[in-house]
Chain A
Amino acid sequence: MADEQADSETARRATAIAEEHLHFEGPLLPILHAVQHELGCVPEDAIRAIAKVLNLGRAEVHGTMTFYPDYRSEPGGAHTLKLCRAEACQSMGADAVADAARAALGIDFHETTSDGALTLEPVYCLGLCACAPAAMLDHEVHGRVTAESVVALAEGASA
């Protein structure tokens, strides 16, 4: 098969990761997490490679991967800023915080700054509802954020 000869580095890594997880019961989500962790996203080549290792159709892996908001088919920015948009944070002015962040960064949710430094994502609850509004920069959590503090956070990550 042509695609076997043209195995990319991505496909080779995804194959190795999938094989490492074969002993898992229901290995697909752990594989997708591991691939995204290593490659920054789950590209088409990786989907084909995973499908082959698990003996699934490409469409099945694609279908699972695209169902979940965490997985991306293209790399995001170097950092990800998640702003909580759910009710507890709304009650403390999260909408205004989000507007300020979007305006300061010049991007909307799900977008990445032009220098590739930061991706802005909405999140529906970080479990920090008693110190709202909440944000998460990569894995670092922040409570009682304000328009100013969240913009400073975003700019700090972009610097």
Chain B
Amino acid sequence: MTRVYVPRDAAALALGADAVVVALETEAAVRGLDLEIVRNGTRGMIWLEPLVEVETDAGRVAYGPVTAADVPGLLDAGLLECGTHPLAHGPTEEIPFLARQTRLTFARCGVTDPLSLEDYEAHGGLKGLRAAIAMTPADVVQAVTDSGLRGRGGAGFPTGIKWRTVLEAQADRKYIVCNADEGDSGTFADRMIMEGDPFVLIEGMIISGLAVEADKGFIYVRSEYPHAIEALESAIATATVRGILGPDVLGSGRAFDLEVRVGAGAYVCGEETSLLNSLEGKRGIVRSKPPLPAHEGLFGKPTVINNVISLASVPVILAEGPAAYQEYGVGRSRGTIPIQLAGNVRHGGLFEAAFGMTLGELVDDVCGGTASGRPVKAVQVGGPLGAYFPRALFDTPFDYEAFAAKDGLIGHAGVTLFDDTADMLKQARFAFEFCAVESCGKCTPCRIGSTRGVETIEKIRRGEDVAAQVELIEDLCETMKYGSLCALGGFTPYPVMSVLNHFRDEIAASPEEIPAR
């Protein structure tokens, strides 16, 4: 029997993975081949999806991108015996894109069957949870603090500090909430881990529950991710049956229950206080802080609210120790960051690396430039609220503080490439338009400022007194940045101002008419 892997990740499905499976099954029946097809997560090399892997004596070998029509030819060429073929890439883990990575959080993603608990344990799963069970809550919190882990959702707040606040809060009930409302364009790390290794998120949440003495968790997943929802629900059911979730977590005497909740299409619910309101069954309106969710969160109770990747990074920290994790990275950005390479990209996908690589290394070496083959004009880092960086800033290292120093942000580490056909003024207009569409409406700078921003950019487009409009935009961005309640209104100025600052020659026929800032 030969084991063949064909991913079940949504990106692989979007590129025809199910048809490849059907073709493999059909051909295997015709040719009398004994195949076991495993639906793994994705390795993250999306340009090679559907990536078919064959288990051989020499390890797993890769073929991709495979279409259903390629399957007979691949089998003729000896797919199951390491045959040579134009789609063959040799041993999967020697493919440079994968070989260059440091996979801690995504160690199992693409390797295992995501819904097999046996596979999960065989590849190091539950080691972190077992370690945490043997520790006091305060020691678990200390380990996470010592690891240097910061919120991977974008804000970069130290996870251990957040947990300590909740541990120290006195209440009859506490909650763990996972923010899986991954709405930023250019990001898909949360989706990939939920579909490709859901048990690691479950394990991370249970550890968080043990650490802060909470016995209930919610994963709030956006409705745009039906495959992730399905994978999580299946994994939670398995974990419950196997005593990992429930009244007696792995025989520890501690309880932890977990529920998946599905969002309803509102981007702003990725903001933590909106998300909490949404979970409570209310409009997803941002709450004023304080009180912090750590003090008064879900249903007014102390709540840990963390992004998927933050929680999914906890098991390896507990399993290998905080020092091992902390060794990676630069400055105050410790550990690894799963960078998502997206948009007009030749080699797009997920690249987990220690903090510190420069944007240029990522764009030119790892991605190999654009899909169109044209020069890279701009790179938006951090989703719709992130700045557009020109090539002149490609020496910026991936590090929270370094990006902030260049008026940008890492956010959820999405990197979206644009080639030289991109219309930067249009991108600035879109930033305002997106904010207007998605604003929850609570605060005025965001609700009204975004619409005024769209109108003002249209005036620039029409060439109406451009210098005055630019000044207005700068003023508006200042107001939105400092006057908005949350990051939606507060960070929309990042993409807008980056276009104004770095692509000024596109704003007017005669950029010299615009006074320099």
* Nearest A residue to B173, CB-CB: A25
A129/B340 in contact, CB under 8 A:
yes
A70/B14 in contact, CB under 8 A:
no
B280 contact set on A, CB distance < 8 A: 26
A90 to B284, CA, bound (A): 27
A68 contact set on B, CB distance < 8 A: 263-266, 284
A124/B267 in contact, CB under 8 A:
yes
| Most B C-beta atoms less than 10 A away, residue of A30, A86, A129, A136 | A129
With A68-B264, A87-B416 already in contact, the answer to whether A130 and B348 are too (CB < 8 A) is yes
**Among listed B145-153, B222-230, B237-245, B508-516, interface-contacting one:** B222-230
B266/A129 in contact, CB under 8 A:
no
B10/A87 in contact, CB under 8 A:
no
Q: Mark A104-125, 1 if CB is under 8 A from B, else 0.
A: 0000000000000000000111
Q: Mark A15-42, 1 if CB is under 8 A from B, else 0.
A: 0000000000111111011000000000
Query: What is the CB-to-nearest-CB distance from B216 to chain A, in angstroms, rounded to a whole number?
Result: 8
With A28-B281, A129-B188 already in contact, the answer to whether A124 and B266 are too (CB < 8 A) is no
With A127-B191, A130-B46 already in contact, the answer to whether A139 and B342 are too (CB < 8 A) is no
A129/B416 in contact, CB under 8 A:
yes
Counting residue pairs across A and B whose Cβ atoms lie within 8 Å, the total is 157
B281/A130 in contact, CB under 8 A:
no
Instruction: Tell whether B503 is near chain A: CB-to-CB under 8 Å.
Output: no
Choice from A33, A71, A125, A142 contacting B185 with Cβ under 8 Å: A125
B350 contact set on A, CB distance < 8 A: 130
Query: What is the CB-to-nearest-CB distance from B273 to chain A, in angstroms, rounded to a whole number?
Result: 14
Instruction: Tell whether B13 is near chain A: CB-to-CB under 8 Å.
Output: yes
Instruction: Tell whether A103 is near chain B: CB-to-CB under 8 Å.
Output: no
A92 to B267, CA, bound (A): 22
A129/B186 in contact, CB under 8 A:
yes
A127/B343 in contact, CB under 8 A:
no
Instruction: Tell whether A126 is near chain B: CB-to-CB under 8 Å.
Output: yes
Instruction: Tell whether B345 is near chain A: CB-to-CB under 8 Å.
Output: yes
A142 to B16, CA, bound (A): 8
Instruction: Tell whether A8 is near chain B: CB-to-CB under 8 Å.
Output: no
Total chain A interface residues with beta-carbon distance under 8 A:
41
Instruction: Tell whether B203 is near chain A: CB-to-CB under 8 Å.
Output: no
B349 contact set on A, CB distance < 8 A: 130
Query: What is the CB-to-nearest-CB distance from A33 to chain B, in angstroms, rounded to a whole number?
Result: 6
Chain A at the B interface: mostly helix, strand, loop or mixed?
loop
A70/B183 in contact, CB under 8 A:
no
Total chain B interface residues with beta-carbon distance under 8 A:
65
A33/B262 in contact, CB under 8 A:
yes
Q: Mark B179-192, 1 if CB is under 8 A from A, else 0.
A: 00011111110110
B15/A131 in contact, CB under 8 A:
yes
Instruction: Tell whether B282 is near chain A: CB-to-CB under 8 Å.
Output: yes
B10/A91 in contact, CB under 8 A:
no
Query: What is the CB-to-nearest-CB distance from B505 to chain A, in angstroms, rounded to a whole number?
Result: 20
With A68-B266, A87-B343 already in contact, the answer to whether A30 and B261 are too (CB < 8 A) is yes
B282/A64 in contact, CB under 8 A:
yes
Instruction: Tell whether A102 is near chain B: CB-to-CB under 8 Å.
Output: no
Instruction: Tell whether B25 is near chain A: CB-to-CB under 8 Å.
Output: no
A88/B185 in contact, CB under 8 A:
yes
8 Å CB contacts to A: which residues of B384-425? Answer: 384, 414, 416-419, 422
A29/B188 in contact, CB under 8 A:
no
Instruction: Tell whether B427 is near chain A: CB-to-CB under 8 Å.
Output: yes
B307 contact set on A, CB distance < 8 A: none
B343/A26 in contact, CB under 8 A:
no
Q: Mark B1-17, 1 if CB is under 8 A from A, else 0.
A: 00000000011011100
A: residues with CB less than 8 A from B are: 25-30, 32-33, 63-64, 67-71, 82, 84, 86-92, 123-132, 134, 136, 139, 141-144
Q: Can you give 18 A-B contacts (C-beta < 8 A)?
A: A29-B261, A33-B262, A64-B283, A67-B283, A67-B284, A68-B265, A70-B223, A70-B263, A82-B224, A86-B186, A87-B384, A89-B185, A91-B344, A92-B344, A124-B185, A129-B187, A134-B14, A139-B226
